[in-house]
Structure 1
């Protein structure tokens, strides 16, 4: 059983640490396999059959098939590895970030060009909980 970590209180963030690394090992092995063209071709021919080569959980497998980007991170995916799956689908890193934030590509780009998201109100989950309570 993993110990509670202070950084688990960052809202909307999945920290990739040793515990997540263990949880997502097979998922990340699948994702990194897509760096090779022959694997991308095989995956494209039959995604489910290709996934049979990796001992992922049912949830991880479904997140891959659904391209549920945030869920992949929650289930132990490393962003740099899961981005290989996105690249396989023709999605660049900026577009992926836009999808993951729900902002879309252009709004995400504009936010980053303007200096990024303010940390105010985004440091602790309790700040988000308070916002939801006010709504």
Structure 2
């Protein structure tokens, strides 16, 4: 019998699907990130990051991921890429640079990979494929 929390897409390597469960988990984290679209909020975060984060009832793990700018961890903890990219923009990071960082390659390698069809499917379809090697 499988756990009802198990989802078939949990086996996709390097991917955190933003589903209803992650949406609920990341609600306050995403509210924090999207708040950065306003200059007054960016100014408040610059002035006192801890005080500004305290305005949002995020988990300690989420706050630590923000502090560390742990981009993939933010997604794992319920962050939506479109909202967390607001935090990256706050830091002066372009979306292409963010994607490269999250993929673990240089900007140029990421760009080249995308221009040539993305990651190869072989070995990237399921985590269970990794176990067979």
TM over 0.5: yes
Q: CA deviation at 1:2?
A: 5.9
CA distance in 2, matches of 1:59, 1:84: 19
Among 13, 22, 30, which residue is 1:11 paired with?
13
* CA deviation vs aligned residue, 1:30-62 (integer Å, no higher than 9, x gap): 000001011011111111110000000000000
Residues paired across the two proteins, number: 131
Gaps of 5+ in 1: none
Matched, 1:103 2:105: yes
Q: CA deviation at 1:128?
A: 2.2
Cross-structure match for 1:50:
52
Cross-structure match for 1:120:
122
Aligned to 2:6, what secondary structure does the other structure show?
coil
CA distance in 2, matches of 1:130, 1:14: 22
Relative to the length of structure 2, the TM-score reads 0.94
CA distance in 2, matches of 1:105, 1:48: 31
Distance 1:83 1:113, change over 3 A: same
Relative to the length of structure 1, the TM-score reads 0.93
CA distance in 1, matches of 2:90, 2:15: 24
Gaps of 5+ in 2: none
